[in-house]
A and B are shown apart, each in its own frame.
Chain A
Amino acid sequence: MSEQRLSVFKTYKLYVGGKFPRSESGRVYEVSDSKNKWLANAPLSSRKDARDAVVAARKAQGGWAGKTAYLRGQILYRVAEMLEGRKDQFVREVAEAEGLSKSKAAAVVDAAIDRWVWYAGWTDKIAQIVGGGNPVAGPFFNLSSPEPTGVVTVVAPQKSSFLGLVSVIAPVIATGNTAVVIASEDSPLPALSLGEVLATSDLPGGVVNILSGRTAEITPSLAAHQDVNAIDLAGVEDDVLAKELEVAAADNLKRVVRPQAVDWSADPGTHRLTAFLETKTVWHPTGSLGASGSSY
């Protein structure tokens, strides 16, 4: 009997606004493993899906940034906890996506989980590292603090379908931004499964939105979107497209992280945290209130 049993395929869906919609376009595309064996049909997102994801990300941004850094840290850690519990699934998906042996895929997934933990610990420390009081020459209290830049479009790395993906999402949301993520075009399945983990990790809907599809089709409208504040071009491998996206991003002066060679297994440093932060400096008189002579 057992060999008679038909396995149950998974219908992969997008993750937008905390929900799992199909592409509004009704399209899918075939996803194969490294040996060209069919794995699943992934949603082929349209530009409309991308715009919907921006709406969801914008809606979620204020609330997410407004949570305490302590709570954001716990929620990021919760993602690591949930991943740990579903490790086998991700090891299988990463092995298939990247053509890795099971043990190598397991090491990649472990590293990705550890990376969530690392970023979970940053949420309530980054302000102390990059902000602080400034010793101005005058009777003023003067404090610089980092703030999220807003909604960030993240083009996830193409080859590193999971560790690379986590390495570009976690720093964006650790600092209070919300993200619209374009998964690896050829290997989107680990990203779409990550959506299921995020949905059960106390992360508010809309903080991370995950789209699969053609990078060249979806990214131009996101790079030009007036309600997107920053764009990480990590996964744009085509130099011509990368340049076009950077030009489009200039239209509302989006913060841009250009594509560059990254060893995703190396210590990530704080670069990707600070790339999506603004610095706000607040001044207030201490004592004398100026010419009128009034004082404390």
Chain B
Amino acid sequence: MTSTPSASKAFEYAPAPESRSVVDIAPSYGLFIDGEFVEAADGKVFKTVSPSTEEVLSEVAQASSEDVDRAVKAARKAFEKWSALPGAERAKYLFRIARIIQERSRELAVLETLDNGKPIKETRDADLPLVAAHFFYYAGWADKLDHAGYGADPKPLGVAGQVIPWNFPLLMLAWKIAPALATGNTVVLKPAETTPLSALFFADICRQAGLPKGVVNILPGYGDAGAALTAHPDVNKVAFTGSTAVGKAIARQVAGTDKKVTLELGGKGANIVFDDAPIDQAVEGIVTGIFFNQGQVCCAGSRLLVQESVQDEVLDALKRRLTTLRLGDPLDKNTDIGAINSAEQLARIKALTETGEAEGAERWSAPCELPSAGYWFAPTLFTNVTQAHTVARDEIFGPVLSVLTFRTPEEAVAKANNTQYGLSAGIWTEKGSRILAVADRLRAGVIWANTFNKFDPTSPFGGYKESGYGREGGRHGLEAYLDV
């Protein structure tokens, strides 16, 4: 955002690019089935591009239903031995994976930034440490399942079909694969079509760790491959993170079967700022809540509910803060806002913000120059928003904040809960009793009080209402992969 005169003076930084030489991206990748990289059965491939430059990074095999069938067969075959392995041995494989991820975390952070468009600051300091932590955490569970609260000797389900999104490609993989393997299941995972690379690098990590063939299978592909996977009759467990619309389709698809399903879907999190909130911290929390990962976060605090008496103060501080955010090259260590993940997602964000303006909400975007190549959207907020506005109801999945106001805690709770979703919420106030009373009444799976967007493998995450069912993380996350 070098275009703002005052900001440019105070915040001029020399570029500090992270070297991409630590990553060796091959010109093409196959599907990872039964421990081997193989071509798609129909020979189809697709290109994955860097969202910040539109540079083609690699060509990747595109899975079809035939490939899904092959991978499920491999996983089924591997299940017999993998599930029979003593928990302590499974644990050691997961510990190995965690350690290799730590060793290769710089390489993976750069790769993720290239393929996803998010700032290196986030992949390096948030995504990768959490990915390793998830494998460490669930590794320790593998030989302690008797103590997890699901009775003695709980059994795995079998083959897990897992479909993950593009916003945290490697982190979502870790959330899915670590508990599945710890509990003795085998896995067929489909990464998103715009971000397949880190999952393919993970396949190599499985190879380095000596993981038995077929325990983890990776199938890059589109929605049709995902649908074929979740519909496959020999898949025992379906785990999906993504849109509510697709989540509902999966819930319909598995009806009448005995597949166990967990769904982590959309959100429209309310970030509630009371008049006694520590304003500086609240502003940082609002920024983290909606501009972390360009707002492409299901638990983003996309609705700011600010108490009327401090509205001007909060908005002035927030706008001032937004003008200091730096948007640009995601590999620059100073970058706060990276690229939107795809042209398609950018178009969706643009359409929804245009609807916001057309419906009478007032738009303000941080003044900044957008790079000429790639997919970019300036941090934006809408004021004069009512609960009926599209921008207050629909998940935008981009760096767009809707600002609403309230007068009393009751009104804040009512407005916060006035949504089909129930994934996250934030509360900012110095008054402890108010935090607890409001947290108690919010219908959301994760509530951050005087903080936002914090994650940890020991901590269950998941939604109420149409944000899906089941929990990932913690002891709760084991249930999804056990026959209990």
CB distance from A68 to the nearest CB of B (A): 13
B133 touches A137 (CB 8 A): yes
Minimum CB–CB distance from A248 to chain B (whole Å) comes to 9
A290 x B466 contact (CB < 8 A): no
> For B445, what are the chain A residues with a Cβ–Cβ distance below 8 Å?
278-281
Q: Does chain A have a CB within 8 A of B153?
A: no
Q: Which of B244, B451, B456, B474 contacts A137 (CB under 8 A)?
A: B456
The stretch of A39-47, A86-94, A127-135 that contacts the partner chain: A127-135
Interface centre among B263, B281, B468 (most CB of A within 10 A): B281
If the complex has contacts A242-B256, A247-B252, A255-B469, are A140 and B447 also in contact, measured as CB distance less than 8 A? no
| A135: chain B residues within 8 A (beta carbon) | 458
Known contacts A144-B460, A243-B255, A250-B248; is-contact A283 B281 (Cβ 8 Å): no
Tell me which residues across on chain A come within 8 A of B468, comparing CB atoms: 253
Answer whether A250 and B460 are a contact pair too, CB < 8 Å, given A255-B469, A279-B471. no
**A284 / chain B contacts, CB cutoff of 8 Å:** 435, 449-451
Is residue B384 contacting chain A, with contact meaning CB distance below 8 A? no
Instruction: Please indicate the chain A residues that have their CB under 8 angstroms from the CB of B471 in the complex.
Output: 279
A184 within 8 A of B: no
Contacts of A239 in B (CB 8 A): 256
Kindly state whether residue B446 has any CB partner on chain A within 8 Å: yes
Interface presence of A265 (CB below 8 A): no
**Which of A129, A130, A271, A289 meets B281, CB within 8 Å?**
A289
From A242, A281, A285, give the contact of B460 (CB < 8 A): A281
Is B411's beta carbon under 8 Å from chain A?
A: no
**Which residue of A149, A247, A278, A282 is within 8 Å of B255 (Cβ)?**
A247
Q: Which residues does chain A contribute within 8 Å of B366, judged by CB atoms?
A: none
Given A130-B149, A247-B255; A253-B263 close (CB under 8 Å): yes
Residues on the A chain within 8 Å of B462, using CB: 279
Which one of B248, B285, B459, B466 contacts A144 once the chains associate, using CB atoms below 8 Å? B459
Q: Within 8 Å CB of B454, what residues of A? A: 136, 138, 140, 283
Please measure, in the bound complex, the distance between the C-alpha atom of A281 and the C-alpha atom of B210, giving whole angstroms.
36
A140 B474 Cβ-Cβ under 8 A: no
B273 within 8 A of A: no
- Contact indicator B255/A144 (Cβ below 8 Å): no
Task: Return chain B residues, CB-CB under 8 Å to A278.
Answer: 445, 464
Q: Which residues of A contact B284 (CB under 8 A)?
A: 290-292
B interface residues, tally (CB under 8 Å): 45
**Interface status of A11 (Cβ within 8 A of chain B):** no
Q: B458 contacts which chain A residues (CB < 8 A)?
A: 134-137
B474: A residues at CB distance < 8 A = 134, 144
Which chain B residue lies CB-closest to A269? B151
**Please, what's the 1-or-0 string for A267-287, where 1 marks a CB less than 8 Å from any CB in chain B?**
001010000001111111100
Chain B residues 434 to 475 lying within 8 A of chain A, measured CB to CB, are 435, 439, 444-451, 454, 456, 458-462, 464-466, 468-469, 471, 474
Q: Does B265 contact A (CB under 8 A)?
A: yes
A-side interface size class: 35 or more
CA distance A291 to B265 in the complex (A): 30
Looking at the complex, which one of B256, B447, B466 makes contact with A282 (CB distance below 8 Å)?
B447
Contact B281 A294 (CB under 8 A): yes
- Interface flag for A142 (CB, 8 Å): yes
B420 proximity list for chain A (CB < 8 A): 252
> Contacting A140 at CB < 8 Å: which of B258, B451, B464?
B451
Is residue B280 contacting chain A, with contact meaning CB distance below 8 A?
yes
Q: Are A290 and B451 in contact (CB under 8 A)?
A: yes
Find A136's partner among B258, B285, B435, B456 (CB 8 Å cutoff): B456
A142 vs B380: C-alpha distance when bound (angstroms)? 31
Asked if A237 is an interface residue, CB under 8 A from chain B, the answer is: no
Q: Does B247 contact A (CB under 8 A)?
A: yes
**Chain B residues in 8 Å Cβ range of A269:** 151
Mark each residue of chain A from 178 to 220: 1 if its CB lies under 8 Å from any CB of chain B, else 0. Answer: 0000000000000000000000000000000000000000000
A279 x B460 contact (CB < 8 A): yes
Q: CA A211 – CA B125 in complex, angstroms?
A: 56
Determine which of B247, B255, B278, B281 lies in contact with A246 in the assembled complex, contact meaning CB atoms within 8 Å. Answer: B255
User: When the two chains form their complex, are residues B281 and A281 in contact, meaning their CB atoms are under 8 A apart?
Assistant: no
| Cα of A63 to Cα of B251 in the assembled complex, Å | 31
A292 touches B280 (CB 8 A): yes
Q: Does B347 contact A (CB under 8 A)?
A: no
Question: Does B476 make an interface contact (CB < 8 A)?
Answer: yes
* Nearest B-chain residue to A250, judged by Cβ: B251
Asked whether, in the complex, the Cβ of B456 is within 8 Å of the Cβ of A282, the reply is: no
A159 at the interface (CB under 8 A from B): no
Q: Given A253-B466, A284-B449, A290-B281, 10 other A-B contacts at CB below 8 A?
A: A136-B456, A142-B459, A251-B248, A282-B439, A282-B447, A283-B449, A283-B454, A284-B450, A289-B281, A289-B450
Pick the 10 closest A-B CB pairs, nearest first. A243-B256, A250-B251, A246-B255, A136-B456, A284-B449, A134-B459, A134-B458, A250-B252, A247-B255, A282-B447
Mind listing 14 A-B residue pairs with CB under 8 Å? A134-B456, A134-B460, A142-B456, A243-B255, A243-B256, A278-B445, A279-B445, A279-B476, A280-B446, A280-B464, A281-B459, A283-B448, A289-B281, A292-B280
